[in-house]
């Protein structure tokens, strides 16, 4: 089904009104979630905390991390991402590798994204799928979804599938996603979605249809800037998105993926907020597993330029610091990053990677010439990525979950 989206992004706003008026669980909309407590953290104070960290502070935090008695706090994490930590990168890399190997062994879990729709009612100013961008949108039929599943299986022995769509409630809402999950289930053991935030009861419904995980990016934790970047549509509601992670936890989603789009605002502020958010969720939803991803903002086809750039070295420091801060969270790297960088970092804290990614709906079965949401930097085929992992002494793991665990 090819869908030409009419200019009615008012649907996003209408959806917001319906959801806020009808959700029987208002606690997870505006209270009892991270949106309820984020106000106690001042953005500028957070940045100051990073900026004023000294080398002595870094040595103190690393000494505590080496003793490995108590988990680090988000404030201590802030010290490790500061410029004062730069002379200690090798120490940090060693610690990061050690904790990763203790928890995950020498393995990298492989996954692949499947874009099912690029229709979107939102107007995120940095995204090529922005509702105002005039191009012909595509939402896959269930038959096309199945063709994609078969094409992906021909690419490699993937068992972890990430189903991705823009946010268009009447096209890609819970009913559509439930059907997509049913189509994909026979082909993959682990199904994760990266779609519009939903109500807790919808997440729960999807977990009963085979959903294992949900990935959502808060994009930025800077509330005022968030409003500027997301002027219209359901996504303009900062609290709705932020408390979405609590709704996932309440619904019993097995694994929650989190991240911010680094470069929208000062990456250090978003990184510390992400660390605080993770700790908050871990205390509440202690049965849930978590993953984090550090996508770097790139110029999009809409012409958007990032506000701040994060260098390769800073991204590596962030990765090491996060692993030292949290030994258990999956750290995921996508094909947004270049092959040489991914090959280098894979033994230093990363635990999962995508490969062979196509970011157009139907891209695996038909290879259409279509607009991409972001540029894929690592375009190697999955077998070549797996070979690179093995050359680094690591094992690519295609399957780390079985449907029997869902029972
Ligand atoms: S970032 Fe997501 S929600 Fe925003 S315009 Fe792009 S596809 Fe839509």
Name residue, tokens 């010439």.
369
Predicted confidence at residue 26, as pLDDT, reads 43
Among 149, 254, 171, 271, CA closest to 218: 271
What is the pairing mode between strands 107-117 and 395-397? parallel
167 lines ligand 1 (CB under 6 A): yes
Cα 167 to ligand 1 centroid, rounded to whole Å:
7
What does the alpha-carbon distance between residue 340 and residue 342 come to, in Å, rounded to a whole number? 6
Among 319, 397, 330, 385, CA closest to 357: 385
Which of 131-135, 180-184, 240-244, 388-392 is predicted with the least confidence, judged by mean pLDDT?
A: 131-135
133 — pLDDT class (breaks 50, 70, 90): confident
Q: Which atom of ligand 1 is nearest the CA belonging to 131?
A: 5
189 lines ligand 1 (CB under 6 A): no
Q: What is the pLDDT of residues 171-183, one digit of tens each?
A: 999 999 999 999 9
Report the nearest-CA residue for atom 5 of ligand 1. 130
219 lines ligand 1 (CB under 6 A): no
Predicted confidence at residue 302, as pLDDT, reads 59
Q: Which atom of ligand 1 is nearest the CA belonging to 166?
A: 7
What is the pairing mode between strands 289-293 and 255-259? parallel
Could you write out the DSSP letters of every residue in 188-231? -SEEEEE-S---HHHHHHHHTTT--EEE---B-S-HHHHHHH--
Taking residues 49-78, report their average pLDDT. Answer: 95
CATH class name, domain 2-406 = alpha beta
Taking residues 185-198, report their average pLDDT. Answer: 97
Q: What is the pLDDT of residues 71-120, one digit of tens each?
A: 899 999 999 999 999 999 999 999 999 999 999 999 999 999 999 999 99
Q: How big is the CA angle at 331 (ends 315 and 147), to the nearest 5 degrees?
A: 115
pLDDT exceeds cutoff 50 at 215? yes
Q: Which of 123, 235, 259 to mutate to test the pocket of ligand 1 (most atoms within 8 A of CB)?
A: 235
- Residue 373's alpha-carbon distances to 33, 133, 298, in angstroms, are 30, 12, 10
Global pTM value: 0.91
Q: What is the DSSP-derived secondary structure letter of residue 245?
A: H
Burial class for 286, CB neighbours closer than 10 Å (0-12, 13-18, 19+) = exposed
pLDDT exceeds cutoff 50 at 27? no
129 lines ligand 1 (CB under 6 A): yes
122 lines ligand 1 (CB under 6 A): yes
130 lines ligand 1 (CB under 6 A): yes
Q: Which atom of ligand 1 is nearest the CA belonging to 165?
A: 7
**Number of C-beta neighbours around residue 391 at 10 A:** 9
Q: What is the pLDDT of residues 155-164, one digit of tens each?
A: 999 999 999 9
Report the nearest-CA residue for atom 7 of ligand 1. 166
Taking residues 7-11, report their average pLDDT. Answer: 46
Share of the chain above pLDDT 70, in %: 87
> Which residues sit opposite 162 in a β-bridge?
113, 192
Predicted confidence at residue 20, as pLDDT, reads 47
What does the alpha-carbon distance between residue 363 and residue 57 come to, in Å, rounded to a whole number? 49
């Amino acid at each position: 089904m090819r869908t030409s989206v009419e200019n009615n992004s008012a649907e996003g706003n209408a959806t917001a009104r319906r959801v806020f008026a009808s959700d029987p669980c208002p606690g997870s909309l505006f209270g009892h979630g991270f949106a309820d407590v984020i106000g106690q953290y001042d953005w500028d104070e957070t940045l100051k905390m990073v900026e004023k960290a000294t080398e002595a502070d870094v040595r103190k935090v690393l000494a505590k991390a080496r003793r490995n008695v108590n988990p680090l706090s988000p404030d201590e994490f802030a010290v490790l991402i500061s410029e004062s930590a730069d002379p200690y990168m090798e120490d940090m890399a060693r610690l990061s590798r050690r904790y990763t190997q203790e928890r995950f062994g020498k393995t990298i879990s492989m996954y692949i994204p499947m874009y099912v729709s690029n229709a979107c009612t939102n107007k995120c100013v940095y995204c090529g799928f922005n509702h105002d961008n005039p191009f012909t949108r595509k939402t896959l039929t269930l038959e096309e979804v199945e063709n994609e599943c078969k094409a992906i299986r021909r690419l490699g022995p993937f068992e972890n599938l990430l189903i991705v769509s823009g946010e268009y409630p009447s096209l890609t809402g819970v009913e559509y996603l439930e059907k997509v999950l049913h189509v994909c289930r026979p082909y993959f053991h682990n199904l994760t979605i990266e779609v519009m935030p939903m109500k807790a009861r919808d997440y729960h419904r999807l977990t009963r249809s085979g959903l294992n995980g949900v990935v959502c990016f808060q994009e930025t934790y800077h509330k005022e800037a968030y409003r500027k970047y997301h002027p219209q549509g359901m996504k303009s509601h900062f609290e709705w998105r932020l408390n979405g992670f609590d709704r996932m936890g309440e619904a019993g989603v097995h694994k929650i993926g989190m991240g911010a789009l680094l470069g929208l605002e000062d990456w250090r502020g978003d990184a510390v907020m992400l660390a605080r958010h993770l700790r908050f969720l871990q205390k509440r939803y202690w049965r849930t597993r978590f993953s984090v991803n550090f996508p770097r903002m790139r110029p999009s086809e809409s012409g958007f330029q990032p506000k701040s750039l994060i260098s390769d070295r800073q991204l590596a420091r962030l990765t090491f610091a996060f692993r030292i801060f949290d030994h258990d969270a999956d750290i995921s790297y996508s094909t947004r990053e270049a092959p040489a960088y991914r090959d280098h970092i894979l033994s230093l804290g990363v635990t999962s990677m995508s490969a062979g990614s196509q970011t157009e709906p139907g891209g695996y079965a038909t290879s259409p010439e279509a607009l991409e949401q972001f540029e894929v930097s690592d375009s190697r085929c999955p077998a070549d990525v797996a070979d690179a992992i093995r050359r680094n002494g690591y094992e690519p793991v295609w399957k780390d979950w079985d449907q029997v665990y869902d029972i």
